[in-house]
Amino acid sequence: MISVEEAIETIKKNSISNEINIEKKLEKADGYLLAEDIYAPINLPPFRQSAMDGYGIHIHKEKEYTIIGEIKAGDKHNYQLKKGEAIKILTGAPVPEDVDTVIMQENTMVTNTTVEIKETIIPNKNIRPIGEQIKVGEIALKKNTKINPAVVGFLYSLGIDTVKVIKKPSIGIISTGNELIAPGLPLSYGEIYESNSKMLLSALYNLKIYDVTIYKIKDNYEDTVSTIANAIKEHDIVLISGGISVGKYDFVYRALQDLEVNELFYKVNQKPGKPLFYGKKNETQIFGLPGNPAAALICFYSYVYISLQSFFGKSETELKRVQAIALDSYKEKRERSVFLKAFYESGNVRVLESQNSSMLQSFTTSNALIYLPSNRNEIKINDTVTVILLPF
Ligand code: AMP
Ligand code: MG
Protein backbone atom coordinates (compact mmCIF):
# COMPACT_ATOMS: atom_id res chain seq x y z
CA MET A 1 0.00 0.00 0.00
CA ILE A 2 1.39 3.40 -0.92
CA SER A 3 0.81 6.86 0.51
CA VAL A 4 -1.40 9.54 -1.00
CA GLU A 5 1.70 11.56 -1.86
CA GLU A 6 3.31 8.62 -3.66
CA ALA A 7 0.08 7.91 -5.51
CA ILE A 8 -0.12 11.51 -6.71
CA GLU A 9 3.52 11.46 -7.85
CA THR A 10 2.97 8.19 -9.70
CA ILE A 11 0.03 9.63 -11.61
CA LYS A 12 1.99 12.77 -12.46
CA LYS A 13 4.87 10.70 -13.80
CA ASN A 14 2.72 8.37 -15.83
CA SER A 15 0.07 10.73 -17.12
CA ILE A 16 0.45 11.39 -20.75
CA SER A 17 0.62 14.87 -22.07
CA ASN A 18 0.29 13.71 -25.63
CA GLU A 19 -0.93 17.10 -26.80
CA ILE A 20 -2.49 15.87 -30.00
CA ASN A 21 -3.58 18.89 -32.00
CA ILE A 22 -6.82 18.96 -33.88
CA GLU A 23 -8.52 21.62 -35.95
CA LYS A 24 -11.79 22.88 -34.55
CA LYS A 25 -14.40 25.31 -35.73
CA LEU A 26 -14.25 28.07 -33.13
CA GLU A 27 -17.92 27.95 -32.26
CA LYS A 28 -17.53 24.30 -31.31
CA ALA A 29 -14.29 24.80 -29.39
CA ASP A 30 -15.55 26.10 -26.04
CA GLY A 31 -13.36 24.79 -23.23
CA TYR A 32 -10.54 23.58 -25.49
CA LEU A 33 -7.01 24.94 -25.07
CA LEU A 34 -5.28 26.64 -27.98
CA ALA A 35 -2.53 24.41 -29.33
CA GLU A 36 -0.44 27.30 -30.65
CA ASP A 37 0.10 31.04 -30.33
CA ILE A 38 -2.18 33.06 -32.58
CA TYR A 39 -0.91 36.21 -34.30
CA ALA A 40 -3.19 38.95 -35.55
CA PRO A 41 -3.68 38.56 -39.30
CA ILE A 42 -5.11 42.10 -39.55
CA ASN A 43 -5.10 45.41 -37.72
CA LEU A 44 -7.99 45.90 -35.34
CA PRO A 45 -9.70 48.12 -36.16
CA PRO A 46 -8.61 47.79 -39.78
CA PHE A 47 -9.38 51.46 -40.53
CA ARG A 48 -9.78 54.71 -38.57
CA GLN A 49 -13.14 54.13 -37.01
CA SER A 50 -15.63 56.41 -35.37
CA ALA A 51 -16.45 55.51 -31.77
CA MET A 52 -19.50 57.82 -31.64
CA ASP A 53 -22.44 59.14 -33.55
CA GLY A 54 -21.45 62.72 -34.28
CA TYR A 55 -19.62 65.05 -36.64
CA GLY A 56 -16.14 64.62 -38.04
CA ILE A 57 -14.50 67.99 -38.58
CA HIS A 58 -11.44 69.41 -40.31
CA ILE A 59 -10.50 71.93 -37.63
CA HIS A 60 -10.48 75.66 -38.29
CA LYS A 61 -10.65 78.63 -35.94
CA GLU A 62 -14.45 79.04 -35.79
CA LYS A 63 -16.98 76.94 -33.89
CA GLU A 64 -19.19 76.56 -36.95
CA TYR A 65 -18.61 74.01 -39.74
CA THR A 66 -20.27 73.27 -43.07
CA ILE A 67 -21.75 69.81 -43.36
CA ILE A 68 -20.75 68.14 -46.64
CA GLY A 69 -22.28 64.69 -46.27
CA GLU A 70 -22.78 61.61 -44.14
CA ILE A 71 -20.87 58.38 -43.57
CA LYS A 72 -22.51 55.45 -41.85
CA ALA A 73 -21.01 52.12 -40.76
CA GLY A 74 -20.05 50.06 -43.78
CA ASP A 75 -19.93 53.02 -46.23
CA LYS A 76 -17.06 53.11 -48.68
CA HIS A 77 -16.77 56.88 -48.97
CA ASN A 78 -14.27 59.03 -50.81
CA TYR A 79 -14.87 62.23 -48.91
CA GLN A 80 -12.11 64.77 -48.55
CA LEU A 81 -12.67 67.61 -46.11
CA LYS A 82 -11.28 71.09 -46.33
CA LYS A 83 -10.70 73.25 -43.26
CA GLY A 84 -14.05 74.30 -41.78
CA GLU A 85 -15.93 71.33 -43.20
CA ALA A 86 -17.79 68.70 -41.22
CA ILE A 87 -19.27 65.33 -42.07
CA LYS A 88 -22.02 63.54 -40.20
CA ILE A 89 -20.50 60.29 -39.06
CA LEU A 90 -22.01 57.31 -37.31
CA THR A 91 -20.56 54.80 -34.86
CA GLY A 92 -18.36 52.21 -36.58
CA ALA A 93 -18.05 54.27 -39.78
CA PRO A 94 -14.67 54.81 -41.46
CA VAL A 95 -13.30 58.24 -40.68
CA PRO A 96 -11.76 60.20 -43.61
CA GLU A 97 -8.03 60.99 -43.41
CA ASP A 98 -8.53 64.71 -43.01
CA VAL A 99 -11.08 64.50 -40.20
CA ASP A 100 -9.14 65.72 -37.17
CA THR A 101 -11.66 64.79 -34.54
CA VAL A 102 -15.21 63.54 -34.06
CA ILE A 103 -17.57 65.60 -31.93
CA MET A 104 -20.35 63.63 -30.32
CA GLN A 105 -23.78 64.53 -31.59
CA GLU A 106 -24.97 65.55 -28.12
CA ASN A 107 -22.44 68.42 -28.06
CA THR A 108 -23.47 70.03 -31.33
CA MET A 109 -26.16 72.36 -32.68
CA VAL A 110 -27.19 71.47 -36.18
CA THR A 111 -28.95 73.55 -38.84
CA ASN A 112 -29.67 72.39 -42.39
CA THR A 113 -26.15 72.83 -43.64
CA THR A 114 -24.03 73.68 -40.62
CA VAL A 115 -23.01 72.31 -37.30
CA GLU A 116 -21.93 74.37 -34.32
CA ILE A 117 -19.58 72.73 -31.84
CA LYS A 118 -20.58 73.20 -28.20
CA GLU A 119 -17.46 71.79 -26.58
CA THR A 120 -13.75 72.44 -26.46
CA ILE A 121 -12.31 70.90 -29.59
CA ILE A 122 -9.63 68.31 -28.89
CA PRO A 123 -7.94 66.53 -31.82
CA ASN A 124 -8.36 62.77 -32.32
CA LYS A 125 -11.33 62.41 -30.00
CA ASN A 126 -13.75 59.55 -30.57
CA ILE A 127 -11.60 58.08 -33.33
CA ARG A 128 -10.23 54.58 -32.92
CA PRO A 129 -6.88 54.56 -34.70
CA ILE A 130 -5.90 51.70 -37.01
CA GLY A 131 -4.61 48.79 -34.90
CA GLU A 132 -5.63 50.45 -31.63
CA GLN A 133 -6.65 47.09 -30.16
CA ILE A 134 -4.04 44.98 -31.91
CA LYS A 135 -1.70 45.44 -34.85
CA VAL A 136 -1.11 42.96 -37.62
CA GLY A 137 1.57 40.46 -36.61
CA GLU A 138 1.24 41.06 -32.88
CA ILE A 139 0.47 38.11 -30.64
CA ALA A 140 -3.28 37.89 -30.17
CA LEU A 141 -3.53 34.88 -27.84
CA LYS A 142 -1.02 32.54 -26.30
CA LYS A 143 -0.90 28.77 -26.60
CA ASN A 144 -2.93 27.05 -23.84
CA THR A 145 -5.47 29.88 -23.63
CA LYS A 146 -8.80 28.32 -22.72
CA ILE A 147 -11.44 29.09 -25.31
CA ASN A 148 -14.40 30.92 -23.79
CA PRO A 149 -17.03 33.24 -25.28
CA ALA A 150 -14.68 36.25 -25.15
CA VAL A 151 -11.95 34.31 -26.96
CA VAL A 152 -14.45 33.22 -29.62
CA GLY A 153 -15.60 36.82 -30.10
CA PHE A 154 -12.06 38.22 -30.24
CA LEU A 155 -10.80 35.66 -32.76
CA TYR A 156 -13.85 36.11 -34.97
CA SER A 157 -13.22 39.86 -34.91
CA LEU A 158 -9.78 39.06 -36.34
CA GLY A 159 -11.46 36.99 -39.06
CA ILE A 160 -10.39 33.66 -37.57
CA ASP A 161 -13.05 30.93 -37.48
CA THR A 162 -10.95 27.77 -37.15
CA VAL A 163 -8.24 27.07 -34.58
CA LYS A 164 -5.78 24.34 -33.66
CA VAL A 165 -6.64 23.01 -30.21
CA ILE A 166 -5.29 20.33 -27.93
CA LYS A 167 -7.37 17.19 -28.26
CA LYS A 168 -9.43 16.35 -25.22
CA PRO A 169 -9.21 12.84 -23.85
CA SER A 170 -11.75 10.20 -24.74
CA ILE A 171 -13.05 8.61 -21.55
CA GLY A 172 -14.73 5.28 -20.88
CA ILE A 173 -16.67 4.84 -17.64
CA ILE A 174 -17.44 1.29 -16.55
CA SER A 175 -19.94 0.82 -13.76
CA THR A 176 -19.94 -2.60 -12.09
CA GLY A 177 -22.45 -4.16 -9.72
CA ASN A 178 -25.33 -6.68 -9.71
CA GLU A 179 -27.32 -4.48 -7.36
CA LEU A 180 -27.40 -1.44 -9.62
CA ILE A 181 -30.37 -0.42 -11.71
CA ALA A 182 -31.20 2.71 -13.67
CA PRO A 183 -33.50 5.40 -12.32
CA GLY A 184 -36.97 5.02 -13.82
CA LEU A 185 -37.23 1.36 -12.91
CA PRO A 186 -38.84 0.38 -9.60
CA LEU A 187 -36.39 -0.78 -6.95
CA SER A 188 -36.63 -4.43 -5.97
CA TYR A 189 -35.34 -5.67 -2.65
CA GLY A 190 -31.54 -5.45 -2.50
CA GLU A 191 -31.24 -3.06 -5.42
CA ILE A 192 -30.04 0.52 -5.47
CA TYR A 193 -30.03 3.12 -8.17
CA GLU A 194 -26.83 3.38 -10.15
CA SER A 195 -25.39 6.86 -9.71
CA ASN A 196 -21.61 6.74 -10.13
CA SER A 197 -21.51 6.61 -13.90
CA LYS A 198 -23.59 9.76 -14.31
CA MET A 199 -21.83 11.46 -11.42
CA LEU A 200 -18.45 10.89 -13.10
CA LEU A 201 -19.90 11.88 -16.48
CA SER A 202 -21.09 15.10 -14.92
CA ALA A 203 -17.68 15.72 -13.32
CA LEU A 204 -16.14 15.33 -16.79
CA TYR A 205 -18.71 17.59 -18.44
CA ASN A 206 -17.99 20.09 -15.69
CA LEU A 207 -14.38 20.07 -16.95
CA LYS A 208 -15.70 20.42 -20.52
CA ILE A 209 -14.72 16.90 -21.48
CA TYR A 210 -17.54 15.52 -23.58
CA ASP A 211 -16.16 12.45 -25.33
CA VAL A 212 -17.42 10.02 -22.71
CA THR A 213 -18.93 6.54 -23.10
CA ILE A 214 -20.62 4.66 -20.27
CA TYR A 215 -20.58 0.86 -19.99
CA LYS A 216 -22.60 -1.00 -17.35
CA ILE A 217 -21.80 -4.53 -16.31
CA LYS A 218 -22.84 -7.06 -13.71
CA ASP A 219 -20.39 -8.71 -11.31
CA ASN A 220 -19.32 -11.31 -13.80
CA TYR A 221 -15.72 -12.13 -14.69
CA GLU A 222 -16.16 -12.61 -18.46
CA ASP A 223 -18.10 -9.37 -18.95
CA THR A 224 -15.63 -7.51 -16.74
CA VAL A 225 -12.67 -8.70 -18.83
CA SER A 226 -14.25 -8.07 -22.21
CA THR A 227 -15.66 -4.67 -21.31
CA ILE A 228 -12.40 -3.43 -19.82
CA ALA A 229 -10.44 -4.80 -22.81
CA ASN A 230 -12.73 -3.01 -25.24
CA ALA A 231 -12.68 0.25 -23.25
CA ILE A 232 -8.87 0.20 -23.19
CA LYS A 233 -8.86 -0.04 -26.99
CA GLU A 234 -11.38 2.76 -27.43
CA HIS A 235 -10.34 5.39 -24.88
CA ASP A 236 -7.45 7.42 -23.52
CA ILE A 237 -8.62 7.03 -19.93
CA VAL A 238 -10.85 4.34 -18.43
CA LEU A 239 -12.63 4.88 -15.11
CA ILE A 240 -13.99 1.74 -13.50
CA SER A 241 -16.48 2.14 -10.67
CA GLY A 242 -16.70 -0.54 -7.99
CA GLY A 243 -15.62 -4.16 -7.94
CA ILE A 244 -12.02 -3.26 -7.09
CA SER A 245 -11.98 -4.47 -3.45
CA VAL A 246 -11.22 -7.98 -2.29
CA GLY A 247 -14.78 -9.33 -2.12
CA LYS A 248 -15.63 -12.65 -3.69
CA TYR A 249 -17.57 -10.89 -6.45
CA ASP A 250 -15.10 -8.08 -7.05
CA PHE A 251 -13.68 -9.06 -10.43
CA VAL A 252 -12.01 -5.87 -11.55
CA TYR A 253 -8.53 -6.42 -10.09
CA ARG A 254 -8.34 -9.98 -11.40
CA ALA A 255 -9.53 -8.82 -14.82
CA LEU A 256 -6.91 -6.07 -14.91
CA GLN A 257 -4.19 -8.57 -14.08
CA ASP A 258 -5.40 -11.05 -16.67
CA LEU A 259 -5.46 -8.27 -19.26
CA GLU A 260 -1.84 -7.52 -18.39
CA VAL A 261 -2.54 -3.98 -17.39
CA ASN A 262 0.66 -2.52 -15.98
CA GLU A 263 -0.15 -1.95 -12.30
CA LEU A 264 1.31 1.34 -11.09
CA PHE A 265 -0.38 1.16 -7.72
CA TYR A 266 -3.18 -0.69 -6.00
CA LYS A 267 -4.43 0.44 -2.61
CA VAL A 268 -3.61 3.79 -1.09
CA ASN A 269 -3.27 4.49 2.62
CA GLN A 270 -6.26 6.78 2.73
CA LYS A 271 -9.83 7.19 3.82
CA PRO A 272 -12.00 7.02 1.87
CA GLY A 273 -10.97 5.12 -1.23
CA LYS A 274 -8.35 2.69 0.00
CA PRO A 275 -8.74 0.16 -2.84
CA LEU A 276 -7.88 2.69 -5.55
CA PHE A 277 -6.11 1.18 -8.58
CA TYR A 278 -4.03 2.96 -11.20
CA GLY A 279 -2.41 1.32 -14.17
CA LYS A 280 -1.64 1.59 -17.85
CA LYS A 281 -2.04 -0.58 -20.89
CA ASN A 282 -0.38 0.76 -24.02
CA GLU A 283 -1.14 4.48 -23.81
CA THR A 284 -4.44 4.10 -21.95
CA GLN A 285 -4.60 4.97 -18.27
CA ILE A 286 -6.93 2.95 -16.10
CA PHE A 287 -8.36 3.99 -12.75
CA GLY A 288 -10.17 1.46 -10.57
CA LEU A 289 -12.32 3.69 -8.39
CA PRO A 290 -14.13 2.62 -5.23
CA GLY A 291 -17.84 1.92 -5.66
CA ASN A 292 -18.90 3.97 -2.69
CA PRO A 293 -20.11 7.17 -4.33
CA ALA A 294 -18.47 9.77 -2.09
CA ALA A 295 -15.18 7.87 -2.21
CA ALA A 296 -15.41 7.65 -6.01
CA LEU A 297 -15.90 11.40 -6.31
CA ILE A 298 -13.09 12.19 -3.88
CA CYS A 299 -10.76 9.91 -5.86
CA PHE A 300 -11.87 11.58 -9.07
CA TYR A 301 -10.83 15.01 -7.82
CA SER A 302 -7.71 13.86 -6.01
CA TYR A 303 -6.31 11.58 -8.70
CA VAL A 304 -8.19 11.37 -12.00
CA TYR A 305 -8.19 15.17 -12.18
CA ILE A 306 -4.36 15.17 -12.31
CA SER A 307 -4.32 12.81 -15.24
CA LEU A 308 -6.89 14.93 -17.10
CA GLN A 309 -4.94 18.13 -16.58
CA SER A 310 -1.72 16.43 -17.73
CA PHE A 311 -3.49 15.31 -20.88
CA PHE A 312 -4.00 18.97 -21.74
CA GLY A 313 -0.31 19.61 -21.17
CA LYS A 314 -0.92 21.70 -18.04
CA SER A 315 1.97 22.06 -15.63
CA GLU A 316 -0.33 22.71 -12.63
CA THR A 317 -2.26 19.46 -12.50
CA GLU A 318 -3.57 19.26 -8.95
CA LEU A 319 -6.53 21.16 -7.59
CA LYS A 320 -5.62 24.31 -5.74
CA ARG A 321 -4.77 23.89 -2.06
CA VAL A 322 -5.07 26.63 0.55
CA GLN A 323 -4.56 26.82 4.30
CA ALA A 324 -7.65 27.54 6.37
CA ILE A 325 -8.77 27.78 9.97
CA ALA A 326 -10.89 24.82 11.05
CA LEU A 327 -14.21 25.71 12.67
CA ASP A 328 -14.85 22.10 13.67
CA SER A 329 -12.85 19.32 15.22
CA TYR A 330 -12.17 15.83 13.88
CA LYS A 331 -10.42 12.73 15.14
CA GLU A 332 -9.11 9.84 13.08
CA LYS A 333 -8.34 6.54 14.73
CA ARG A 334 -5.79 5.04 12.36
CA GLU A 335 -2.61 6.31 10.81
CA ARG A 336 -3.77 7.07 7.31
CA SER A 337 -4.45 10.09 5.18
CA VAL A 338 -7.97 11.43 5.26
CA PHE A 339 -10.05 13.47 2.84
CA LEU A 340 -13.00 15.16 4.52
CA LYS A 341 -15.99 16.70 2.80
CA ALA A 342 -15.82 20.34 3.81
CA PHE A 343 -17.16 23.81 3.26
CA TYR A 344 -14.62 26.58 2.77
CA GLU A 345 -15.39 30.28 3.04
CA SER A 346 -13.17 33.33 3.58
CA GLY A 347 -10.24 31.49 5.11
CA ASN A 348 -12.36 29.27 7.35
CA VAL A 349 -13.40 25.70 6.80
CA ARG A 350 -16.14 23.54 8.28
CA VAL A 351 -16.01 19.76 8.50
CA LEU A 352 -19.33 18.54 7.16
CA GLU A 353 -21.38 15.86 8.85
CA SER A 354 -21.80 12.39 7.33
CA GLN A 355 -18.23 11.70 6.26
CA ASN A 356 -19.17 8.12 5.42
CA SER A 357 -17.88 7.18 1.97
CA SER A 358 -21.30 6.00 0.83
CA MET A 359 -22.97 9.33 1.56
CA LEU A 360 -23.31 11.95 -1.12
CA GLN A 361 -25.82 14.31 0.47
CA SER A 362 -23.14 16.07 2.48
CA PHE A 363 -21.11 16.36 -0.73
CA THR A 364 -23.88 18.46 -2.26
CA THR A 365 -23.17 21.23 0.24
CA SER A 366 -19.40 20.82 0.02
CA ASN A 367 -17.06 23.03 -2.00
CA ALA A 368 -13.77 21.70 -0.69
CA LEU A 369 -11.97 18.77 0.88
CA ILE A 370 -9.86 18.96 3.98
CA TYR A 371 -6.70 16.91 3.57
CA LEU A 372 -5.10 15.41 6.64
CA PRO A 373 -1.78 13.67 5.96
CA SER A 374 -1.27 10.28 7.58
CA ASN A 375 0.87 11.69 10.41
CA ARG A 376 -1.87 14.00 11.56
CA ASN A 377 -4.90 12.34 13.04
CA GLU A 378 -6.69 15.17 14.71
CA ILE A 379 -8.12 18.59 13.99
CA LYS A 380 -8.84 20.92 16.88
CA ILE A 381 -11.02 23.98 16.49
CA ASN A 382 -8.90 26.92 15.23
CA ASP A 383 -6.18 24.63 13.86
CA THR A 384 -4.78 25.47 10.45
CA VAL A 385 -5.56 22.73 7.92
CA THR A 386 -4.93 22.09 4.24
CA VAL A 387 -7.99 22.55 2.08
CA ILE A 388 -8.37 21.34 -1.51
CA LEU A 389 -10.75 23.60 -3.40
CA LEU A 390 -13.20 21.71 -5.59
CA PRO A 391 -13.74 23.16 -9.05
CA PHE A 392 -17.52 23.24 -8.86
P1 AMP B 1 -17.98 -1.97 -4.49
O2 AMP B 1 -16.79 -1.07 -4.57
O3 AMP B 1 -18.37 -2.54 -5.81
O4 AMP B 1 -17.81 -2.99 -3.43
O5 AMP B 1 -19.18 -1.05 -4.02
C6 AMP B 1 -19.16 -0.41 -2.77
C7 AMP B 1 -20.51 0.21 -2.49
O8 AMP B 1 -20.79 1.19 -3.45
C9 AMP B 1 -21.66 -0.76 -2.53
O10 AMP B 1 -22.56 -0.44 -1.52
C11 AMP B 1 -22.27 -0.56 -3.88
O12 AMP B 1 -23.62 -0.88 -3.92
C13 AMP B 1 -22.03 0.93 -4.09
N14 AMP B 1 -21.89 1.21 -5.52
C15 AMP B 1 -21.03 0.58 -6.33
N16 AMP B 1 -21.15 1.05 -7.59
C17 AMP B 1 -22.10 1.99 -7.54
C18 AMP B 1 -22.68 2.84 -8.53
N19 AMP B 1 -22.27 2.79 -9.79
N20 AMP B 1 -23.65 3.69 -8.14
C21 AMP B 1 -24.05 3.73 -6.86
N22 AMP B 1 -23.53 2.98 -5.89
C23 AMP B 1 -22.58 2.10 -6.20
MG1 MG C 1 -19.64 -4.05 -6.36
| Residue 236: predicted pLDDT | 96
Query: What is the 242 CA–ligand 2 centroid distance (Å)?
Result: 5
| Residue 90: predicted pLDDT | 98
User: What is d(CA 172, CA 226) in angstroms, rounded to the nearest whole number?
Assistant: 13
| Residue 230: predicted pLDDT | 98
The length of the chain is 392
| Residue 392: predicted pLDDT | 87
DSSP string, 27-85: GG-TTPBBSS-EE-SS-BSSS-EESSSEEEE---SSSEEEEEEEE-TT--------TTE
Indicate the top mutation candidate among 173, 174, 181, 196 to test ligand 1's pocket, ranked by most ligand atoms within 8 A of CB. Answer: 196
| Residue 19: predicted pLDDT | 75
Query: What is the 287 CA–ligand 2 centroid distance (Å)?
Result: 15
CA of 360, nearest ligand number:
1
| Residue 314: predicted pLDDT | 86
Query: What is the 202 CA–ligand 2 centroid distance (Å)?
Result: 21
Closest CA to 167 of 58, 14, 29: 29
Indicate the top mutation candidate among 192, 199, 248, 251 to test ligand 1's pocket, ranked by most ligand atoms within 8 A of CB. Answer: 192
CA of 358, nearest ligand number:
1
182 Cβ inside 6 Å of ligand 1: no
Nearest protein Cα to ligand 1, atom 19 = 196
Query: What is the 293 CA–ligand 1 centroid distance (Å)?
Result: 7
The residues facing 125 across adjacent strands are none
Residues with beta carbon < 5 A to ion ligand 2?
A: 177, 242-243, 291
**Ordered structural domains, the chain, with CATH:** 4-19+168-311 (3.40.980.10), 22-43+132-166 (3.90.105.10), 49-128 (2.170.190.11), 321-389 (2.40.340.10)
Closest atom of ligand 1 to CA, residue 219: 3
Cβ-based neighbours of 197, under 8 Å, separated by 6 or more: 173, 175, 214, 216, 241
Q: Where are the beta strands (DSSP E) in 225-310?
A: 237-241, 262-266, 270-271, 277-281, 284-289
| Residue 351: predicted pLDDT | 97
Query: 3-class DSSP state for residue 294?
Result: helix
| Residue 315: predicted pLDDT | 87
Contact 379, 356 (CB under 8 A): no
245 Cβ inside 6 Å of ligand 1: yes
| Residue 365: predicted pLDDT | 95
Query: 3-class DSSP state for residue 189?
Result: coil
357 Cβ inside 6 Å of ligand 1: no
| Residue 313: predicted pLDDT | 84
285 Cβ inside 6 Å of ligand 1: no
Indicate the top mutation candidate among 180, 227, 267 to test ligand 1's pocket, ranked by most ligand atoms within 8 A of CB. Answer: 180
- Distance of alpha carbon 196 from the chain centroid: 22
User: What is d(CA 197, CA 204) in angstroms, rounded to the nearest whole number?
Assistant: 11
172 Cβ inside 6 Å of ligand 1: no
Cβ-based neighbours of 240, under 8 Å, separated by 6 or more: 173, 174, 176, 228, 252, 277, 286, 287, 288, 289
Mean pLDDT by 10 residues, the chain (392 residues): 98 86 95 95 98 98 97 96 97 97 97 96 97 98 96 98 95 98 96 98 96 98 98 97 96 98 98 98 96 98 97 91 98 95 98 94 97 96 98 90
| Residue 379: predicted pLDDT | 97
